[in-house]
Chains A and B, each alone.
Chain A
Amino acid sequence: MRWTGKIRFMLLAPAVIWVLAFTVFPLGYSLYLAFYKIEQKVEVTRVKEPILDAEGKPVLDDQGQPRIKTVVKKDQVNIATFIGIDNFKRLFGDPQVGEAIRVTALFVLIAVPLELIFGFLLAVLFNQHIFGRPVLRAIMILPIFATPLAVGYTFFTIFYEVGGPLAWTGIPFLSSPNGALASVILVDVWQWTPFCFLVFLAGLQGVPDELYEAARVDGASPWDMLKEVMLPLLVPTIIIVLLLRLAESLKLFDIPFSMTGGGPGVATQPFSLLAFRTGLRFFDLGYASAMAYALLIVVMIIITLFFRRMRFSYE
């Protein structure tokens, strides 16, 4: 049976509508917001009307009087003024933006490599025949399934400095700027190392045994096998994991939001949290949209560069 164009269109329509409504429209609208200043004015009028039943007759109260409802009529006017690239220009002179970029960059540069390194080492370990491997592997990946927001609140109690389970260490987990940032990194590493581990393990288990045997016959040491067999074969996997973690880390939000509130000061306020606060706490929507687009551009540049590099490596 050949499907006509109409049927194809109908089958595709839900997906197309979904993408248009929930991806393209918000993207377009936020771009519009970034270039306009929106002012709202509202006029409210109230009209008292009798409540009617299904037959259109007035509903009466206990005293036999018609029951009345209030209908609120809103006359809302949005005045949009084109302001060009003012919101984007603001980004360059805003000290909060500079600080948020610093926090985000530090986070990404420390957390992502740690997650990859630990994930890889664990994958190598679990690629051996160790006792209780299936059970340990299942336990290892549990953090991935936790909601980051809940993770943040949980670690807030763990890092609680007076009476918390780690209070005896005397480490200022949340009360010093560096300590708080280190705590956020630690929690992220705890949560996302298992993801790296899982993907690397899958990659390692896909390496044919013959290659290891051949290396062993050639007298390769375990270090040589790691360097010459495992790593080269895992490079595509590592790049994909790195890309995914980079993109996610640049959008860091939940853990600092719930664990530190971005503080002390702004020591753990990443770029996404700043954009969220600017837009949805102070309703400076245009500026927040400009921030979001700036982040999007940075992420896109990084990803494009990575893909180029990857393509170059394989050509």
Chain B
Amino acid sequence: MHPLKWSLFALPALALLATPAIAGQNVEWKDDGTVLIKLGEAYNNQVITTSREELGSEFGPDKQPFKDVTITVTVNGAGPKGGISGPLHQFRPVWEELSGGKVNIVELPFAEHYTKMMLDLRNGTGQYDAFMVGAFWYGDIVPAGYGYAIDELQKSGKYPKWTYDDMPPSLKALHQWKGVGYGVLNDGDGQVLYYRSDMLGNAEHQAAFKKEYGYDLPNPPQTWQQLLDISKYFNGKNWDAGDADPDSGTVLHLKVGEQGHYHFQSLSSSFVINPGDKVTRTQNVYWFDPEDMKPLINSPGHLKALEFLQELHKTGPAAQVGWSLGEAWDYFLRGKSVFVFSWGDVGALCQDESRSKIKGKCAAAMMPSSNEYYDFEKKEFVKLDKPRLVGNTTGGSWHGVVSNFSANPEATYSFLSLMAMRPVSKMMATVGWDGVDPGFSYQFLEEDGGTAKIEDYVKAGWDANDAKTYTHAYHEVFYAPTMLTYLRIPGSFEYWDILDKNLSATMSGGKSAKQALDDTATAWEGVTDRIGRDKQKADYQAAIGYTP
């Protein structure tokens, strides 16, 4: 036999010798202690490298610690390649191979998820082992004893490893209750401003804008008032060559029951929040007066913000009153509006060229600030010389919480933790469709104090400039010195639902801004009285860190 022919046999034989001790369909255990997690088509068959150490001591090539155990997890329904639900589907076979167990994924429409979860918890049926919750549900879950504290499991070293220390304090607070951990790291929610860098940087538009408004087109806008001017300038013009229709300034998602109220929260924060080193009765408060739980939602600052939002709404398509997230995002991704302010999904979706026409033109920035805010102490508006940017953790920061009625909390925790490990979480944040947004130290770039490199994002298909502005914007929004406080008390969902309906009525012309906010405040008083004012006050003070 020709020596070359020997090599035809020898090479595969050598390759076989070099292969790991055990190579499963989804997990490959290497002899050097590394472990490869092989993902499916949804994640472009990516392979994540981790270690036995990081996977925890319970898992191993010859172990199946949860054999015959079945766990059930609920999530907002979006399918096997949808936001938040997608990763559960993609990591299910991996966990099943590692553990020997089975995962049932119960997808529920957003509007029904909370209801089904609470019915299960209130009746103590234990039908579900974990829920992918929004942080605003904590007030209804944890104080009632429905959540399973995970600190012991996390410290045990038996399960896939991750740490709360990777979170900015603003996000960490959303995963814990009175210092005890309940939430498993997954998604970091906060709203930033996305803008068309090509349009704001266009010399012709800059000149025309200056002529019309008398000042240089700010790129990006620093104040909401500047953003409104830019929106008005671009609205109604066909500045995007994609089609023959006129384009818009800012697109919003305002359908009732579909998270439209978050726009108002993020926007109004800089109109309302009085800066200060600590939380007092007038500083760093947004929702209620922490002394008597009287709503602040109809304060002059909130009112001015809502009137501003009404103005801004006019620079977008009228139909957006009936739009959910997806519709508004697609409008921006198709190049039909200059601005959208929303969650991290948009930045990642901009990079998906099957859906986006604006890759490389999709920059992000910290949310603008109002040029004035309402001083609760002096009871008057205070003009600002320079913008005072307010950070936010607006949204759900959707993540897993183990049910206290679960018969298999260890198995459930190990499944959720598998997706919280650094290399997994880092990879997921670079992908648009999975709904997992950045917020953790290893997702920020080194120049922002993180450990990620721009190459990581470019390798994942990102435009470098888009990635830089995106990660920087998120770093700013989560680490801002002044933050919008997060409402996390019993009944939060109901408080927000009332606000949502009244905002929707305002945006559709059914109510004036003042009427809507006054109605909201009246209805909130009813909820507070029903749940118990003293109880609510105590929970609210604890949630915002107020000491009487």
Q: Which A residues contact B (CB, under 8 angstroms)?
A: 40-44, 61-62, 69-72, 74, 76, 94-96, 160-162, 172, 174-177, 180, 260-267, 269, 277, 280-284
Q: Determine if B501 and A263 form an interchain contact, defined as CB atoms under 8 angstroms apart.
A: yes
**B320: nearest chain-A partner, CB-CB:** A175
**B523 in contact (CB, < 8 A):** yes
The residues of B that contact A70 with a CB separation of less than 8 Å are 407-409
B491:A261 contact, CB within 8 angstroms = no
CB-CB < 8 A to A96: which residues of B? 523
Which residue of A42, A160, A263, A281 contacts B256 across the interface (Cβ within 8 Å)? A263
Chain A residue, CB-CB nearest to B327 = A162
| B540 proximal to A (CB < 8 A) | no
Q: What residues of B have a CB within 8 angstroms of the CB of A177 in the complex?
A: 505, 508-510
Tell me whether B115 and A280 are in contact (CB under 8 A): yes
Q: Is A264 a contact partner of B124 (Cβ separation < 8 A)? A: no
Task: Type the 1/0 row for B104-144, where 1 means its CB is closer than 8 Å to any CB of A.
Answer: 00000001001100110010101000000000000000001
Contacts of A61 in B (CB 8 A): 67
Q: Answer yes or no: B502 CB below 8 A from chain A CBs.
A: yes
Task: Please give 13 more A-B residue pairs, beta carbons under 8 A apart, in addition to A263-B255, A263-B508, A281-B111.
Answer: A61-B67, A70-B407, A71-B407, A162-B319, A261-B111, A261-B256, A262-B501, A263-B256, A263-B257, A263-B504, A267-B508, A280-B115, A283-B118
- Which of A95, A172, A261, A265 has the most B CB atoms < 10 Å from its CB? A265
Partner of A281, one of B144, B407, B493, B508: B493
Return the chain A residue nearest B124 by Cβ.
Answer: A74
Q: How far is the CB of B222 from chain A (nearest CB, A)?
A: 31
Q: How far is the CB of B258 from chain A (nearest CB, A)?
A: 7
B320 surroundings in chain A (CB, below 8 A): 175
Q: Are A281 and B114 in contact, with the CB atoms below 8 A?
A: yes
The B31-56 residues at the A interface (CB cut-off 8 A) are none
Bound CA–CA A161/B254 (angstroms): 14
CB B50 to nearest CB in A, in angstroms, measures 24
Contacts of A74 in B (CB 8 A): 124, 126, 405
Looking at the assembled complex, report how far the CB atom of A275 sits from the nearest CB atom of chain B, in whole angstroms: 14
Q: Give the most central of A41, A42, A76, A174: most B CB within 10 Å.
A: A42
Q: For the complex, what is the distance from the CA of A44 to the CA of B115, rounded to whole Å? A: 22
Sample (17) of A-B pairs whose CB atoms are under 8 Å apart: A41-B145, A43-B145, A72-B126, A74-B126, A162-B319, A172-B318, A260-B322, A261-B256, A262-B256, A263-B255, A264-B256, A265-B505, A265-B506, A265-B511, A281-B114, A282-B497, A284-B530
Let me know if B318 and A175 touch, CB within 8 A: yes
Q: Is B404 an interface residue (CB 8 A)?
A: yes
Residue B494 interfacial (CB < 8 Å): yes
Number of interface residues of B (CB under 8 A): 53
Contacts of B146 in A (CB 8 A): 42
Q: CA–CA, A147 to B408, complex, Å?
A: 38
Q: Known contacts A261-B256, A262-B257; is A95 also within 8 Å of B114 by CB?
A: no
Residues of A within 8 A of B522 (CB): 95
Write the nearest CB–CB distance from B325 to chain A, whole angstroms. 13
Contact at A176–B508, with CB atoms within 8 Å? Answer: yes
C-alpha spacing A94/B519, complex, angstroms: 11
Q: Are B510 and A42 in contact (CB under 8 A)?
A: no
Minimal beta-carbon separation of B337 from chain A (angstroms): 12
A264 in contact with B145 given A70-B408, A282-B494 (CB within 8 Å): no
Query: What is the predominant secondary structure among interface residues of chain A facing chain B?
Result: loop
Q: Does B369 count as interface, using CB distance less than 8 angstroms?
A: no
B317–A162 CB distance below 8 A: yes
- Give B63-106 as 1s and 0s: 1 = Cβ < 8 Å from A's Cβ atoms: 11001000000000000000000000000000000000000000
User: What separation, in Å, do the CA atoms of A255 and B75 have in the docked complex?
Assistant: 25
Measured between C-beta atoms, what is the minimum distance from B432 to chain A in Å? 21
A257 to B118, CA, bound (A): 20
- CB of B122 within 8 A of CB of A40, answer yes
Whether A175 lies near B322 (C-beta < 8 A) is yes
Interface residues of B in 185-210 (CB under 8 A from A): none
Cβ 8 A contact of A95, one of B254, B321, B519: B519
Q: Say whether B505 contacts A267, CB under 8 Å.
A: yes
User: B331 contacts A162, CB within 8 Å?
Assistant: yes
- Which residues in B have their C-beta under 8 angstroms from that of A94? 526
Task: Return B238 CB to nearest CB of chain A, in Å.
Answer: 15
Cβ-defined contact, B507 with A264, below 8 A: yes
9 tightest A-B CB contacts, nearest first: A265-B505, A263-B256, A264-B508, A161-B319, A174-B322, A175-B321, A261-B257, A282-B494, A177-B510
Return A93 CB to nearest CB of chain B, in Å: 9
Hey, which chain B residues are within 8 Å of A162, CB to CB?
317, 319, 327, 331
Query: Chain A's nearest CB lies how many Å from the CB of B108?
Result: 13
Closest Cβ neighbor of B532 among chain A residues: A39
Shortest distance from the beta carbon of B294 to any chain A beta carbon, whole Å: 19
B396-410 contacts to A, CB under 8 A, are 404-409
Chain B proximity of A90: nearest CB distance (Å) = 8
A262 to B146, CA, bound (A): 30
For the complex, what is the distance from the CA of A70 to the CA of B126, rounded to whole Å? 13
Smallest CB gap from A61: residue in B: B67
Within 8 A of A (CB), among B468-499: 491, 493-494, 497
> In the bound complex, what is the Cα–Cα distance between A14 and B110 (angstroms)?
39
Chain B 443-480, CB-CB to A under 8 Å as 1, else 0, gives 00000000000000000000000000000000000000
Min Cβ gap B62→A in Å is: 8
CB pair A264–B505 under 8 Å, yes or no, is yes
Residue interface bits B378-420, CB-to-A below 8 A is 1, else 0? 0000000000000000000000000011111100000000000
Nearest Cβ on chain A to B69's Cβ, whole angstroms:
9
What separation, in Å, do the CA atoms of A25 and B333 have in the docked complex?
A: 53
